[in-house]
Structure 1
Amino acid sequence: MTVPKGKLIIIGGAVDMGSNISAQENILQPNYIKFFEQGILKRIITESAHHEASKVEVITTASQIPELVSTEYISAFNHLGVNHINILDIRTREDASNPEYLQRIRKADVVMFSGGDQLRLSAIFGGTEFLQILKQRYQKDNFVIAGTSAGAAAAATHMIYRGSSNEALIKGHVQITAGLGFIDSVFVDTHFVQRGRIGRLLYAVASNPGILGIGLGEDAGLLITEGSMMEAIGSGLIILVDGRNMVETNIYDVEIGAPVSIENLKVHVMSIYDKYDLLQHKLLIKKVVKVENGVFIKADK
């Protein structure tokens, strides 16, 4: 397996951007989280090739309010001292083939997908040269791909795109399709803790136990390096569901509309600085030794 040179950052939504509103699915009800200077956006810039001098392209395709989201991201990154911010306002597959846009992502240091509807991302970018360039750069260059909310949910090869929280464990209610394919062998769900989406992830993993379920809370993210080492970032929580040792399920026997039973799924909880190795399936927990000015300081377990 080829080890990517790039970095992937997936975020659960409602990332604190140090402004009056957050770029999230429900932008009219912002979730204020006291995390910014040492938070997720800062980490994206820290991990990028040229730090504050990096060229950042924000893709607002998933959003229904791209103009408002664009303004917020520009303001937030400017606050961090990043001035080379551009918006890729791609709304159709024709837009995705715009030669100017293709050239811009060839030169970018960071590409960030905003929140919204992940099905728009897969339908507009699937099979395009635009997506091919992103994947090539992720494999070969010191390049950061980041996504929040829908942008995170669409990052993997397999994507959950539909399913209510309260009926998720009823057969047929959770829908899965192909995502953008930056990472294999995981399902990603977002706004996870706040919207009670554990049932969606349990169902997805039970339907394919070899794929790790990742539930990202709000203002929580994972920095994925070398394609397999995941570090928790942000102030929120991350839930992992491992189905490799699942004993039994009736998911393949029951009729559509019937409840599903599952035996022996393993669940992990990650918080800031914890790490998980996707190859070794091992979690390294770091303990909090002190909190300074709202910043968590941890040490090895």
Structure 2
Amino acid sequence: MKIHGKLIIIGGAVDKGSFTETDLDTNATKNLNFFEEGILKRIIQESAHKENSRIEVITTASKIPRQIGPEYVKAFSYLGAHNVDVLYIEKREQASEPEIIERLKAADVVMFTGGDQLRLTSILGGTPFDDILIDKYKNTNFIYAGTSAGAAAASNNMIYQGSSSEALLKGEVKITSGLGLIDDVVIDTHFVQRGRIGRLFQAVVGNPKVLGIGLGEDTGLLIKNGRQMEAIGSGLVILVDGREVKDTNLTQVELGQPISINHLVTHVMSKHDTFDLDTFKMTIKSSQYV
């Protein structure tokens, strides 16, 4: 099935400028590089109507939605997008309200903020809002953008808990169902900064069909047609491919015991590198061999 929408998943800590500071304008030059080159700018550029696109910021995952939402409105406004508002969905029944559904139907972009991905899926999963979100992504020129929790929840398989330091102990990584916009991947965020490589290893060895995606902070992936991935932002994307795993002790050890894995393939992507989910081929944009 051809996917008409785009996914933009971000590892967290998006550098959108210090909008909580009072001297934003005097320090604007600090932020111009991000504004011109960064992820939020790319979201606007990829959207259906560019600066005129209707953008809804969804703060459901956050415990402080009334503080987080307006920050994104300011950031998008500074980048020239003024048709932006915050869609507050804090209870499950709100995800069925006609006004909220109509706002989703009218949106060109939804931007899911960080927070708790389990809160996000438990409130939105299986609601009319979720059904329309998936339908718009599959069938229209629509962008689902998500940072941190918003990124982790985008896939069908979702990591919602797991200690970084003990991630390669059997049972330490907890996985449930996400919002289901993309299949056969599992996404982890704040990846490099919080040392979460072990979490992704365990998630992948349990089902090697699933590609592990680890997103660094202020780093993301733009996914077109549901298959073509491009690294965006300033940091690294780590991909974990388990299809060639030769052996593991996963089913032999007790809960809490270390896991062994033989021959787990990894790729490291940086800005403008691409990866094809059909062929599993990566292309380095600035390869030294080209």
The two structures have a TM-score, normalised by structure 1, of 0.91
Match of 1:26 in 2: none
Match of 1:185 in 2: 184
Task: Determine if contact 1:126/1:180 at 8 Å carries over to the other structure.
Answer: yes
Identity among equivalent positions (%) equals: 60
Q: Distance in 1 between matches of 2:19 and 2:75?
A: 10
Task: Determine if contact 1:35/1:235 at 8 Å carries over to the other structure.
Answer: no
Residue 140 (str. 1) matches residue 143 (str. 2): no
Match of 1:27 in 2: none
Task: Determine if contact 2:8/2:144 at 8 Å carries over to the other structure.
Answer: yes
Residue 99 (str. 1) matches residue 108 (str. 2): no
Task: Determine if contact 1:205/1:213 at 8 Å carries over to the other structure.
Answer: yes
Match of 1:232 in 2: 231
Q: Cα distance, 1:288 vs. partner?
A: 7.8
Match of 1:251 in 2: 250
Unaligned stretches of 5+ residues in structure 1:
23-31, 290-299
Alignment of 1:272-291 (within 5 A): 272-287=271-286
Amino acid corresponding to residue 85 of structure 1 in structure 2: V
Secondary structure (helix, strand or coil) at the match of 2:9 reads strand
Q: CA 1:167 to 1:266, structure 2 compared with 1: closer, same or farther past 3 Å?
A: same
Match of 2:43 in 1: 44
Task: Determine if contact 1:16/1:34 at 8 Å carries over to the other structure.
Answer: no
Match of 1:79 in 2: 78
Secondary structure (helix, strand or coil) at the match of 1:159 reads strand
Alignment of 1:213-228 (within 5 A): 213-228=212-227
Q: Distance in 2 between matches of 1:135 and 1:172?
A: 31
Q: CA 1:33 to 1:158, structure 2 compared with 1: closer, same or farther past 3 Å?
A: farther
Residue 197 (str. 1) matches residue 193 (str. 2): no
Amino acid corresponding to residue 270 of structure 1 in structure 2: M
Q: Cα distance, 1:253 vs. partner?
A: 1.3
Name the stretch that deviates more: 280-289 or 190-199.
Answer: 280-289
Q: Cα distance, 1:20 vs. partner?
A: 4.1
Q: Distance in 2 between matches of 1:242 and 1:127?
A: 30
Q: Distance in 2 between matches of 1:151 and 1:206?
A: 24
* 1:28-55 deviation digits (Å, cap 9, x = unpaired): xxxx996232110000000000000000
Secondary structure (helix, strand or coil) at the match of 2:231 reads strand
Q: Cα distance, 1:252 vs. partner?
A: 1.2
Match of 2:16 in 1: 17
Secondary structure (helix, strand or coil) at the match of 1:196 reads coil
* 1:115-165 deviation digits (Å, cap 9, x = unpaired): 000001110111111010011111111001100000000000000000010
Task: Determine if contact 1:16/1:33 at 8 Å carries over to the other structure.
Answer: no
Q: Distance in 1 between matches of 2:287 and 2:247?
A: 37
How many pairs were matched up?
A: 281
Q: Cα distance, 1:18 vs. partner?
A: 2.0
Q: Distance in 2 between matches of 1:62 and 1:73?
A: 14
Task: Determine if contact 2:19/2:74 at 8 Å carries over to the other structure.
Answer: no
Secondary structure (helix, strand or coil) at the match of 1:61 reads coil
Task: Determine if contact 1:19/1:76 at 8 Å carries over to the other structure.
Answer: no
Q: Cα distance, 1:248 vs. partner?
A: 0.6
Match of 2:125 in 1: 126
Task: Determine if contact 2:35/2:79 at 8 Å carries over to the other structure.
Answer: no
The two structures have a TM-score, normalised by structure 2, of 0.94
Q: Distance in 2 between matches of 1:42 and 1:248?
A: 44
Secondary structure (helix, strand or coil) at the match of 1:157 reads strand
More helix by share: 2
Match of 1:161 in 2: 160
Q: Distance in 2 between matches of 1:143 and 1:245?
A: 35
Q: Cα distance, 1:98 vs. partner?
A: 1.3
Q: Cα distance, 1:67 vs. partner?
A: 1.1
Match of 1:209 in 2: 208
Q: Distance in 2 between matches of 1:121 and 1:67?
A: 16
Q: Distance in 1 between matches of 2:114 and 2:233?
A: 17
Q: Distance in 2 between matches of 1:92 and 1:51?
A: 31
Q: CA 1:204 to 1:34, structure 2 compared with 1: closer, same or farther past 3 Å?
A: farther
Unaligned stretches of 5+ residues in structure 2:
22-30
Amino acid corresponding to residue 261 of structure 2 in structure 1: I
* 1:275-296 deviation digits (Å, cap 9, x = unpaired): 000000000001189xxxxxxx
Q: Distance in 1 between matches of 2:226 and 2:55?
A: 21
